[in-house]
Amino acid sequence: MSTRKGKRQLDPVMWQPSIKRQENANITGFMARVRESYGVNVTGYENLYRWSIAEPAAFWDLMWRFAGIIASEKGRQIVANADKMPGARWFPEARLNYAENLLLKSHEDQCAIIFHGENGESQCLSYGELYRCVSQLAQALHHDGVKPGDRVAGILPNRPESIIAMLATTSLGAIWSSCSPDFGVAGIVDRFSQIGPKVLFIGDGYFFNGKTFDRSNQIAPLLQAMPSIERLVLTPVISSFDGANENQVTLWQDYLAGFPNDRPMVFAQLPFDAPLFILYSSGTTGPPKCIVHGIGGTLIQHLKEHRLHTDIHAGDRLFYYTTCGWMMWNWLVSGLASGATLVIYDGSPLYPKADFLFDLIDAYRINIFGISAKYIDALKKAAVAPRTTHNLASLRTILSTGSPLAPASFDFVYDSIKSDVCLSSISGGTDIISCFVLGCPILPVRRGEIQCRGLAMKVEVYDEKGQPLQGEKGELVCTAPFPSMPVGFWNDPEQRQYHAAYFEKFPGVWSHGDYVALTDQGGMIIYGRSDAVLNPGGVRIGTAEIYRQVEQIDEVLESLVVGQDYDGDCRLILFVVLRPGLQLNDQLIAAIKQHIRTNASPRHVPALILQVTDIPRTKNGKIVELAVRDIIHGRPIKNQQALANPEALEQFRRLVPLLQ
């Protein structure tokens, strides 16, 4: 049995995998395959990691074979232009389909999806039933002319219909993009209008925290704002409908009517780097950038992270608390490719009680339980102790992401949830639809640390001059290509935005924008974002998304928003310049928050709103969020001479005591 190690004051090791667990781990079998295939005797994770970054082509070739990726053609070449970043092309001769790799015929009778809703609704679909549902919807989409390269979008709760719609879309070679139903119309249009979806799937509402939210009033404005939509498929979630009321609107069940559910699927075979998903950047300097991820890169990277780092075996039950607007939803759904049973939940994680998700662990025998660092902190503050109220016998791994997991949260997990569990803090992002650093089932868990860098991810830490660091804080960078790098940005044919986003700071090196340090044990500690991107609760939010809403408030002339590291998370602080003679009061604060909540999302709402008289700007007029963020965190201001009005910073210094 795996055991805790020593006392925390003396030993930072919180958990050590048992010998049996190490022997049975997928990664142990993978190391044996390395020895068989290449004659390289890799023992232990560090040796495997060093081999994987030294021989990336050999690693990814073996990963393809080890995972049993389904493809009509693999090709002989593993990587072309291997020395270019960006520019490397993985498996350039391959032809495959993402959905085909998830709809496993060999698991037909096994449960594929278990759904539980906050309102008590539950549902179970076997792999065979899922296949038949996807086949039926794919026929309907094909009948509507959906073909490779077309965009299909979803504004749906985390329900089986979301997964079915995505798999039907990608089975045809079309591109899927989704967002959470709590986004306002403006936030949705900011994203989807850029990609011109042909078909839009939308739920009529959702349940959250004991309340019902009707979203049917979004249909008309969305159709008006996005003329590319030829078909809107409405999924009843909170209501029952007898029929559609507009020419372009069709109910889910009516859309499927007339198409058989027993027809074998024909999966479009496309290049490895053909577009699969479009995800969205934070929108710091304008509308959110549309990040395009490829079929093969997404699939093989997720298989690596699921099989080797998370140790998912066929039949395991995988849960991650996420919405369809977060990349963790994409990551979760790929678990089908490993033969896992997905347990999906839609609703508040804290309703009707703080430890409700642990009821799901026991009810559905969840093995891998994924949540956010903010959720763990909320449990700690609620003083719950699931280890005393729940069985949790099935639980062997807890995953945490969204923000750095504080050392005290490690203590809470092992003291109050379960002592014999692999607690894997993971970090990556929308940009790579995967992780740079994550867990490992054969490594110890150390307090406050992420266990390791991802296999075949040449992750390093740079100082501001681009020099490598060890044990010191700096920029997280990746210095060699990897398959899940974006194909590019939508509407960026010369890749100028793509280069500017990741390669401008250190040419030829991916700069991720995290402030981190590598430990002597090969783990990593993340200290937060190093740029102006806001990250409350792990949801990336750009300042421009908030500015666009605040600017619509008549009383506000201009504003500045920053993220404050606070109580183990990031909270949003909004500073506003009001029209002459006006004073910020409770009524105006409430109005600003409500406007942001309605037109963006609840996650965009600032925790505090404060009044200032001036906003610091550069000499070319650009707002300087980072200078203000440094002030409220007690850090020195860099390049203050570049400001057109450095005197504006003084009032922010005076406000610091209000932010403690």
What integer is the mean pLDDT of 129-155? 98
| Cα 367 to Cα 479: distance, rounded to the nearest angstrom | 34
pLDDT of residue 542: 67
pLDDT of residue 466: 94
pLDDT of residue 405: 85
What integer is the mean pLDDT of 204-217? 94
pLDDT tens digits for range 236-293: 999 866 554 556 789 999 999 999 999 999 999 999 999 999 999 764 344 788 999 9
Nearest to 322 by CA among 210, 400, 226, 240: 400
Q: How many CB atoms lie within 10 A of CB 285?
A: 15
Helix (H) or strand (E) holding 60: helix 56-67
pLDDT of residue 581: 92
Q: Coil, strand or helix: which one is 82?
A: coil
pLDDT of residue 539: 72
Spatial contact of 458 and 479, defined as CB atoms under 8 Å apart: yes
What integer is the mean pLDDT of 490-494? 94
413, pLDDT greater than 50? yes
Of the listed ranges 4-18, 43-57, 129-143, the one predicted with least confidence: 4-18
With cut-offs at 50, 70 and 90, classify the pLDDT of residue 538: confident
pLDDT tens digits for range 27-77: 999 999 999 999 999 999 999 999 999 999 999 999 999 999 999 999 999
Q: Are strands 205-208 and 211-214 parallel, antiparallel or unpaired?
A: antiparallel
Dihedral sign (CA 357, 358, 364, 365): positive
pLDDT of residue 573: 96
Q: In terms of residues, how long is the chain?
A: 660
pLDDT of residue 472: 87
Q: Are strands 524-529 and 445-446 parallel, antiparallel or unpaired?
A: unpaired
1, pLDDT greater than 70? no
What integer is the mean pLDDT of 205-228? 95
pLDDT of residue 564: 93
One DSSP character per residue, 595-610 reads HHHHHT-GGG--SEEE
Mind listing the domains of the chain with CATH numbers? 15-96+274-529 (3.40.50.12780), 105-271 (3.40.50.12780), 541-659 (3.30.300.30)
pLDDT of residue 5: 42
What integer is the mean pLDDT of 300-324? 97
93, pLDDT greater than 60? yes
Q: Give φ, ψ of 438 to 5 degrees.
A: -165, -160
pLDDT of residue 2: 43
Cα angle for residues 11, 14, 15 (degrees, 5° grid): 125
Spatial contact of 545 and 551, defined as CB atoms under 8 Å apart: no
Contacts of 121 (CB under 8 A, 6+ apart): 115
Sheet harboring 452-453: ordered strands across? 427-429, 434-438, 452-453
Spatial contact of 561 and 546, defined as CB atoms under 8 Å apart: yes
Nearest to 163 by CA among 330, 348, 390, 412: 330
Helix (H) or strand (E) holding 359: helix 356-364
Helix (H) or strand (E) holding 208: strand 205-208
99, pLDDT greater than 50? yes
Spatial contact of 173 and 149, defined as CB atoms under 8 Å apart: yes
Q: Residue written as tokens 């591109």? A: 175
10, pLDDT greater than 50? no
| Cα 316 to Cα 314: distance, rounded to the nearest angstrom | 6
Q: Residue written as tokens 């409430």? A: 590
pLDDT tens digits for range 314-368: 999 999 999 998 999 999 999 999 999 999 999 999 999 999 999 999 999 999 9
What integer is the mean pLDDT of 213-224? 94
| Cα 572 to Cα 578: distance, rounded to the nearest angstrom | 19
Work out the mean pLDDT of the chain and round it to a whole number. 91
pLDDT of residue 530: 67
Q: Return the amino acid letter for 484.
A: S
With cut-offs at 50, 70 and 90, classify the pLDDT of residue 536: confident
644, pLDDT greater than 80? no
Nearest to 497 by CA among 298, 288, 187: 288
One DSSP character per residue, 198-214 reads SEEEEESEEEETTEEEE
- Percent of the chain predicted with pLDDT > 70: 93
| Inter-CA distances, 598 with 118, 187, 285, 581, Å | 22, 10, 21, 28
Of the listed ranges 174-188, 226-240, 243-257, the one predicted with least confidence: 243-257
Strand partners, 208: 211
Which tops the pLDDT comparison, 615 or 135?
A: 135
Q: Coil, strand or helix: which one is 588?
A: helix
pLDDT tens digits for range 497-525: 999 999 999 999 999 988 889 999 999 99
Spatial contact of 305 and 299, defined as CB atoms under 8 Å apart: no
What integer is the mean pLDDT of 453-465? 95
Of the listed ranges 155-164, 334-343, 484-493, 649-658, the one predicted with least confidence: 649-658
